[in-house]
Each structure stands twice: as C-alpha cells, then as structure tokens.
Amino acid sequence: LNGCTDTVAVTVNAKPSAGSNITGVCGGSSVTLTGTATGGTWAAQSTNPVGGTLAGSTVSFATTASGTYNYIYTLNGCTDTVAVTVNAKPNAGSNQVACGGTSATLTGTPTTGVWSVLPTNPTGATLGSTTMGVATVSFSTASNGTYKFILTDGSCTDTVDVVVTAKPLAGVDKTVDCYVTGVATMTGTGTGTWTAMSGNAGTSTITTPSSATTTITGFSIAGTYNYLFTNNNCSDTVTVV
C-alpha cells in the first residue's frame, strides 16, 4: 500500500490418509487401521453403530456388530476418515451330543445361513440340505467322535460341534430252553453295561454287567426278558425268551 509491503505466511499441513475403506469384516473379529502418515491418532465417529471397540489402531467387533463404522485419523489438526463395513457373525447354536444310528438337527441364525461339513470330520455323517437355516445330519451306527458343522452367511461363519458316541450293539436275540437252569450268553460288541429292563417276566442275574459277552442266568419264571446294552447314554436292546 502506497509502496509499502507486508508478508503473511500460511503453513499448510498435508492431509493424512486413513487408508482404503474396509469391507467383508465379520462380527467377532478385529481389524487394524493403518494411516499412511505416522504420528496420528484414531477416534471413532460418535454416530457409529454399537459393537465396535477402538484401542489404539485396532478395532474389535462384537459378534453381533453390524453396519458401517467410521474412524477418523487426525494428524497436525488435519483429518481423514475410513469406513469399515461389518456383517454380523451367524450363530450356529449350542454344541450337541448324539448316538450313532440317530440324527441331529442343526439350527442356525439368520435363516439365510447354509450348513456345510468340516472336511476333516470322522466318517459316518450325512448332512442334508439347508432350509431356512436348518439342516439334519444323520449318523451311522458306527459314527464316533466330534463332528464339526459350519454355518455360513455371506462371508461370515460359525461352527457347532456334535459329539457322537458309537451305538453299542447288543447282538441277536437269545432263546433259553429251560428257565431254571438256562444260560443266555450275550453277543454284544463295543463298550457298554448291561441292565435288565422294566417289565421283564421275572428277575435274573447278569454275571458281568460290564462285559459285552456276559452270561445271564437265574431266570425266576418263564417268559420274555429284555436287556439294555448302554454306553454313554447310547443303547441297544436284546430279548431273551
């Protein structure tokens, strides 16, 4: 002005980069936020859905977390924002127990989930098709061990265990010619314990209840006697006449 000058300095800080938006995250997992300029700090946008916990640059999501979460990276007074899209983790339900020769119903949420078999499962399980998040798995009598089944919804999964005990085999039915002196020798296979069922014609004596091939003697009267061979709540029945 009038031949006189003055100068002002404007200091400009480069805008930090919060990185690319993150998609395909499942509830129950975590992500690490990576800004391209070091020294900044992260903060969660106040309008984020519930279920995201920020600690430093790591965000942990609850299994029920779902939606778009925005995180703000601040450096030297300048900010940038990254969005993290989270899908809720499906729920495969509680672990189950079953006996060989039976079936189990797998019930997951949401109903859009689809069931599949873990490839490393023991043999002996046949999984049916999924309808509205529900599927039935059938086990052969020899099935034994822990079977894992995976519920998948979108890119997110959950797993349920079905612990199966092989069905003990009681063997073929027996005939005793004379109840007073008769001896019935069991032909069971596998591990189990013999017990007499209620409703039998009379009483009898199981010589060695823990032996699959025990003898049964001392029938008190003529008639029909039924016996259970049980292992881990799984059982088979044999009849002695």
**Which among 58, 60, 82 has a CA at the least distance from the CA of 70?**
82
- Sign, CA dihedral 115-120-121-123, equals positive
Weakly modelled stretches of the chain, pLDDT under 70: none
Q: What is the pLDDT of residue 163?
A: 98
- The predicted-structure confidence for 109-146, as pLDDT tens digits, reads as follows 999 999 999 999 999 999 999 999 999 999 999 999 99
Could you give the CA distance from residue 92 to residue 70 in angstroms, rounded to a whole number? 29
47 C-beta neighbours (distance < 10 Å), count: 7
- Comparing CA positions, the residue from 88, 112, 92, 89 lying closest to residue 104 is 92
List CB contacts of 77: < 8 A, sequence separation 6 or more. 13
Write down the pLDDT at residue 218.
96
Number of neighbouring beta carbons within 10 Å of residue 86: 27
Q: What is the pLDDT of residues 173-191, one digit of tens each?
A: 999 999 999 999 999 998 9
